[in-house]
Structure 1
């Protein structure tokens, strides 16, 4: 039995509840309160005096098996390294596939998601990629949702030159499969949509499906701020009750944090906004003349940079929502995104400069004193 007592933490749960002790047993928070009296064998005590503790981050869009490939085999991105998640403070991840429907199989995605879970974080997946009809493991969207615990929904692309350009009726049919698959599997079921630059193409379809009676809760667009037209339609979609996902370090605002602020100013409910990284997707590098000189991957650590920008813009409690609590609630991930009795012990310990000193996932320290102490299976 693993027992850890975190004392004297200034807790944002995400609500600021002040100085508390947190008692963790076998990966769960079993007690939260002031001056807890705990008497159990082999108790580890960690003193967090002078530090802040918040929920671990949740990233719903990482190419865990590597994205890219649009420039031929040499441009295929590498797989996600576990230690990068630790450095980011990301304790829960949803893996995705992208453009490459041929060499990046969904079975491979599932295997990587399970590997990440074994290594120490919580992991789920979107089945399929950019294509229609969807690519699945079992041959059916409904069966993937039913038979694969890690599968929470389906990914497609709309309004992008790399998409399959499905019709509204085809998307409606897919949403019906997701809805029914969710019903029979005990999940909500979501359609996670990569939005391209053709915002009207995508949203004419999505709004049409909602207007025909499909519950808006099943529709989850991402990369919403990449283009002015796409952004305007995304804000309107969120104001009618949809949830929009903003991508780190990209788009018309320059970053996700200022897109969040713009959406709030436009009247979007804070709970309807989330942030993700597009981690391990391909990202071009340019020289001072604007010429592309190479490729790198989108960093999963960008979510922490966005969080630190969000704090002065909208406050600590709301900032935590955009990178953690809102995702847990909107994706129906029980025990995530909060610090409460019965929740998973996914915790970040921060110093006064909002730098991570400790990262805990499922009750296990992955970072101590600012150093990664748990790495992936094949990492040095």
Structure 2
């Protein structure tokens, strides 16, 4: 048991300085004053003028076992470690495969997800990769969803990209309906993360797949939506017309894009940000030849959070794209992720109010970072 005393929290709504009692992996009580008698527990006392706590960040797009490979074997990116995410306040991750679903496979990804869990970081994965028909663990994507607890859906499935399989709207719709039903059976939401490329067809397949109303748009999450202006415009239309979610890949322009989206949409209630962490950042010439490749950093959510606060966003609004909305988009809010409340996972980041530096990270009830 761990008692945090006199700590201002954002749940994500602003709450004054309170006590938080953590029992195992859960928050078991939030109250103005908590006293315990007859039990052993640890206590950390905070200065409410110097600290505040937020729910741990949720990174919905991570290449946990590395990515890349578009320029040959030497361009494969490295695997990730739980510590590098936790140091950035990220306490939940969703792992996936991208271009290379051949030399990297789902059993290795599943093992990595379980290794992350053993290090007290919440972790899930997607089955499939860029290619269609998709590769799976059980040879059936619905079985993967139903029988493997860590699998939340399919992705990242390449749409409008020269590295994809030219997935049609009908193929996308059939796959998404399967995942939706598998989600019903397994108690999950069921999503397809759609990697959006630069090809001119853009999000056409997503709009067509949902046009007759059979498939709710919330099951399709287009990612990398801010890679060009046309795609971002389609993403805005996806939210306005379909009430779906979009995902932006964290970069130096993300804060500016989020500011523009808030002005256009009125809020960020359907906008996620993820890092594409440890995936490849390739640059191709007009003929499709690889010119340059780097690995994506994993600290993009932290940089986005700080950048939004510096831009004048309040903390609750700044938490939406990196915590609150990803939890809803992926269906993790069902299990209490994206908030700090009684019975929610005890995963939170505690910041210094003046410097905005992380001083403590608690993930699933364990103190994993302590810079006090």
Query: Do both share a fold (TM > 0.5)?
Result: yes
Structure 2 counterpart SS, 1:258: helix
Determine the C-alpha separation between the residues in 1 that align with 2:196 and 2:293. Answer: 22
Q: Name stretches of at least 5 consecutive residues in structure 2 with no aligned partner.
A: 284-289
In 2 relative to 1, CA 268–201 (structure 1 residues): closer, same or farther, beyond 3 Å? farther
Q: Name stretches of at least 5 consecutive residues in structure 1 with no aligned partner.
A: 286-291, 371-380
- 1:355 matched to 2:357? The reply is yes
After superposing the two structures, state which structure 1 stretch, 144-153 or 212-221, moved more: 212-221
Determine the C-alpha separation between the residues in 2 that align with 1:242 and 1:270. Answer: 12
* 8 Å contact kept, 2:196–2:203: no
- 2:7 corresponds to which residue? 9
Q: Deviations over 1:257-283 (max 9, x none)?
A: 221111111126421011100000123
Paired residues in the alignment total 357
- 1:328 matched to 2:330? The reply is no
* 8 Å contact kept, 1:239–1:269: no
Determine the C-alpha separation between the residues in 2 that align with 1:56 and 1:135. Answer: 31
- 1:265 corresponds to which residue? 263
Q: Deviations over 1:82-122 (max 9, x none)?
A: 21111111100000111012101111111111111111100
* 8 Å contact kept, 1:95–1:126: yes
Shift of 1:202: 3.7
Shift of 1:212: 2.2
* 8 Å contact kept, 1:11–1:18: yes
- 1:319 corresponds to which residue? 318
- 2:161 corresponds to which residue? 160
Determine the C-alpha separation between the residues in 1 that align with 2:197 and 2:368. Answer: 36
- 1:288 corresponds to which residue? none
Determine the C-alpha separation between the residues in 2 that align with 1:293 and 1:87. Answer: 32
Structure 2 counterpart SS, 1:88: coil
Structure 2 counterpart SS, 1:271: coil
In 2 relative to 1, CA 206–283 (structure 1 residues): closer, same or farther, beyond 3 Å? closer
Structure 2 counterpart SS, 1:54: strand
Determine the C-alpha separation between the residues in 1 that align with 2:34 and 2:198. Answer: 53
Structure 1 counterpart SS, 2:269: helix
* 8 Å contact kept, 2:89–2:349: yes
Relative to the length of structure 2, the TM-score reads 0.92
Q: Deviations over 1:300-322 (max 9, x none)?
A: 11210111011233211111121
- 1:207 corresponds to which residue? 207
After superposing the two structures, state which structure 1 stretch, 134-143 or 327-336, moved more: 327-336
* 8 Å contact kept, 2:272–2:321: yes
* 8 Å contact kept, 1:247–1:255: no
- 2:250 corresponds to which residue? 248
In 2 relative to 1, CA 83–325 (structure 1 residues): closer, same or farther, beyond 3 Å? same
Q: Once superposed, what is the RMSD of the aligned Cα atoms? A: 1.7
Determine the C-alpha separation between the residues in 2 that align with 1:59 and 1:6. Answer: 25
- 2:371 corresponds to which residue? 369
Q: Deviations over 1:166-187 (max 9, x none)?
A: 1111111111211121122222
* 8 Å contact kept, 2:224–2:249: yes
Shift of 1:41: 2.7
- 1:114 matched to 2:119? The reply is no
Shift of 1:330: 2.2
Determine the C-alpha separation between the residues in 2 that align with 1:83 and 1:366. Answer: 8
Determine the C-alpha separation between the residues in 2 that align with 1:284 and 1:178. Answer: 30
Q: Deviations over 1:169-223 (max 9, x none)?
A: 111111121112112222221111000112x524111001110221111111110
Shift of 1:295: 5.0
- 2:46 corresponds to which residue? 48
In 2 relative to 1, CA 85–43 (structure 1 residues): closer, same or farther, beyond 3 Å? same
* 8 Å contact kept, 2:62–2:277: yes
Structure 2 counterpart SS, 1:125: strand
- 1:135 corresponds to which residue? 135
- 2:275 corresponds to which residue? 277
Shift of 1:329: 2.1
Structure 2 counterpart SS, 1:225: helix
Q: Counterparts of 1:77-226 in structure 2 under 5 Å?
A: 77-155=77-155, 156-198=157-199, 200-213=200-213, 214-226=215-227
